[in-house]
Amino acid sequence: MDLIIPSEGLLFWTTIVFVILLVLLRKFAWKPILGAVQTREGNIQKALDSAKDAEERMNALTAQNEDLLKQAREERNVILREAKAAGESMVAEAKESAQKDADRILVSANEQIANERMKAVVELKNQVGKLSLEIAEKILKSELDDKAKQESLVNHLVEDVNLN
């Protein structure tokens, strides 16, 4: 029965001891500890938040970089394509002008050849005419050396002239 009847002495001292303990621990232990724990938790939360922020910013940056890269790649492609086209057109132009030159040269060459040939032909004709004259002269000289022959020719020519 004694066990379940509280004694006045222990009731009194427990109250005193507990209240003193509460006051002391509250002031010198719980306040600093809880304060520090809370501040640290706040700091950790802040650090986590800023890490998340940084990650987000990193992600944004990476995305931006990728965009830039993609754009650059596209630009490069465009430049390449343009360069290729320019090159091709230049080659084509060069070919064309070369062809033209060649044609022109061919034509003028032909003309020159024709001219030269004409000249040659004219020259030949002249030469042939001269030669013919000389031959005719020589023949005539030889023919007309002899009086009889001259007379026969004249006669012949006279005969041919038809006096109508």
Interface size with another protein, residues (CB under 8 A): 35
The pair of structure tokens assigned to 87 is 């090159």
3-state secondary structure of 54: helix
Q: What are phi and psi of 145, to 5 degrees?
A: -70, -35
Site track 19-58 with another protein (rule: CB under 8 A), x = hit: -xxx-xxx-xxxxxxxxxx-xx--x---------------
CA–CA distance, 139 with 145 (Å, rounded to integer): 10
Give the count of beta carbons closer than 10 Å to the beta carbon of residue 37. 10
Closest distance to another protein from the beta carbon of 46 (Å): 12
Tell me which residues in 107-136 interact with another protein (CB under 8 A).
none
Nearest distance, CB of residue 20 and another protein, angstroms: 7
Mapped onto helix, strand or coil, the DSSP state of residue 162 is coil
CA distance 74 to 76: 5
Alpha-carbon torsion (29, 35, 41, 47), positive or negative: negative
Instruction: Kindly tell me which of 32 and 87 has the beta carbon lying closer to another protein.
Output: 32
Residue in 15, 64, 65, 132 binding another protein, rule: CB under 8 A: 15
Using CA atoms, how far apart are residues 130 and 78, in angstroms rounded to an integer?
Answer: 76
Residue number with CB closer to another protein (8 or 145): 8
Q: Which residues make Cβ contacts (< 8 Å) with residue 90, sequence separation at least 6?
A: none
In this complex, which beta carbon is closest to another protein, that of residue 13 or of residue 84?
13
Q: How far is the CB of 32 from another protein (least distance, A)?
A: 4
Does 71 engage in binding with another protein (CB under 8 A)?
Answer: no
- Closer residue to another protein in complex, CB, 50/97: 50
**158 near another protein (CB under 8 A):** no
User: Contact residues for another protein (CB under 8 A)?
Assistant: 2-15, 17-18, 20-22, 24-26, 28-37, 39-40, 43
